[in-house]
Amino acid sequence: MYNLDAKDWAKSDDWRRMQGEALERLGHGPLRTPSRRMLEGPGFRLLDHGGEGPPVLLLPAPIKRAYIWDLNERASVVRRCLENGCRVLLLEWIEDERINQAGLAWHACDVPLACAEAIRAETGDWPAIVGHSLGGTFAAIFAALYPQCLRGVVLVAGPVRFGPAAGPLGTLVASSPPAGIVTAGLERVPGRMLNMAAATASPEEFIWWRMADWAASLADPPAMRLHMQVMRWSMDEFAMPVRLFREVMELLYRRDLFHRGRLVLGGRLARPRLSVPLFSVVDPVGTIVPPSSILGLSPDRCEEYEGDHGVGLRHVGMLVGASAQRRLWPRIIRWMHDL
């Protein structure tokens, strides 16, 4: 799985991007909500979508592009939050050679803190933070270190407990060579490598379920439209800084330091008992981030994702799926308003 050299991996990423661009030319690209840049730095930008209510900071995983939060008019967490009276800020991670040595502390502490402070300076309020997948992990770590800078935390399939509790991906990491060996000779970890790791860990979710979703969407044009937009997004490869990859694999997945109360970042101990309100969203049949990995922080409230067809990848269904947009996100937004 890891026996390609850096040039081969780069070509693989380029090919995937070309496939995604072809899908976009066929009309399967995102239809994003207008925004302005509130803050920008090496490797990230903070987009302000406006709104008059309490601020909400959306935190994606640093793997693919952030527009999965804002895919089209019917499949957009950004739009649902705006429609329900929130000031919506979306963090975008950007591929940037200047952050090749940026690790977990930079992604989970420095950048979210800079964003929270910019939001506070402009709106007068600290934001609630909403993180999906590894972005949820970052959100939980940030809340553990800087609870005074948040009103609350929402983890959408955000793993906080690793090791055996992390399911197939945790098993794959445990059986793999150390991350330093896997990434030897790489400056950044290609998106294609990350995709292959996920598919190897859980072919049911990333291969067979995707094919079944395509078949189930054939007779439903809106569902097929969404499926193809998610497929286009899935090919928008994003290389991860090597240091971040190594620290996520070793400090989190292999050693489970956050949940064990031993994760130290920037000289500060990230205690896994949050002092801010916590809302967790789980997929009861999800494999790549099982409920056992999400519920490690004992949330104040928990909701289950019911599932949809037409979402391409079940792991992002809770962001773009019709039932998630109709039922799940109004509950999350009401909870954030009540903080």
pLDDT of residue 9: 60
On the question of pLDDT at 195 being above 90, the answer is no
In this structure, the strands spanning 188-189 and 152-156 are: unpaired
pLDDT (mean) for 53-66: 94
Whether CATH 1.10.3210.10 fits 6-337: no
- How would DSSP label each residue in 210-256? HHHHHHHHTT-HHHHHHHHHHHHHHTS--PEEHHHHHHIIIIIIIT-
pLDDT of residue 10: 62
On the question of pLDDT at 6 being above 60, the answer is no
What's the CA gap between 17 and 213, in Å, rounded? 22
Q: Of residues 201 and 290, which shows the higher confidence score?
A: 290
On the question of pLDDT at 63 being above 90, the answer is no
Burial level of 262, CB count in 10 A (0-12/13-18/19+)?
middle
Percent of the chain with pLDDT over 90: 69
Under the banding of pLDDT at 50, 70 and 90, the label for residue 218 is very high
pLDDT of residue 20: 87
On the question of pLDDT at 129 being above 50, the answer is yes
pTM given for the model: 0.94
pLDDT of residue 23: 92
pLDDT of residue 7: 60
Percent of the chain with pLDDT over 70: 97
Among 86, 74, 89, residue whose Cα is nearest residue 36: 89
On the question of pLDDT at 3 being above 70, the answer is no
pLDDT of residue 261: 95
In tens, the pLDDT along 274-291 reads 999 999 999 998 888 899
pLDDT (mean) for 9-38: 88
How far is CA 292 from each of CA 166, 200, 267, rounded to the nearest angstrom? 7, 20, 29
Find the helix or strand (DSSP H, E) in which 40 lies: strand 36-41
* 47-56, 81-90, 93-102, range with the lowest pLDDT: 93-102
Under the banding of pLDDT at 50, 70 and 90, the label for residue 100 is confident
Q: What are phi and psi of 142, to 5 degrees?
A: -60, -40
What value does the mean pLDDT of the chain take?
91
pLDDT of residue 186: 81
Task: Let me know: does 121 contact 89? Beta carbons within 8 Å.
Answer: no
Q: What are phi and psi of 224, to 5 degrees?
A: -65, -40
On the question of pLDDT at 152 being above 80, the answer is yes
In tens, the pLDDT along 234-276 reads 988 788 899 999 999 999 999 999 999 999 999 999 999 899 9
Structure tokens belonging to residue 113: 């803190």
> Measured at the alpha carbon of residue 181, what is the angle toward residues 178 and 184, in degrees to the nearest 5?
145
One-letter identity of residue 239: A
pLDDT of residue 1: 45
Task: Let me know: does 127 contact 118? Beta carbons within 8 Å.
Answer: no
pLDDT of residue 286: 84
pLDDT of residue 163: 86
In this structure, the strands spanning 264-265 and 44-48 are: unpaired
Under the banding of pLDDT at 50, 70 and 90, the label for residue 308 is very high
CA trace torsion 147, 152, 158, 164 (10° rounding): 60
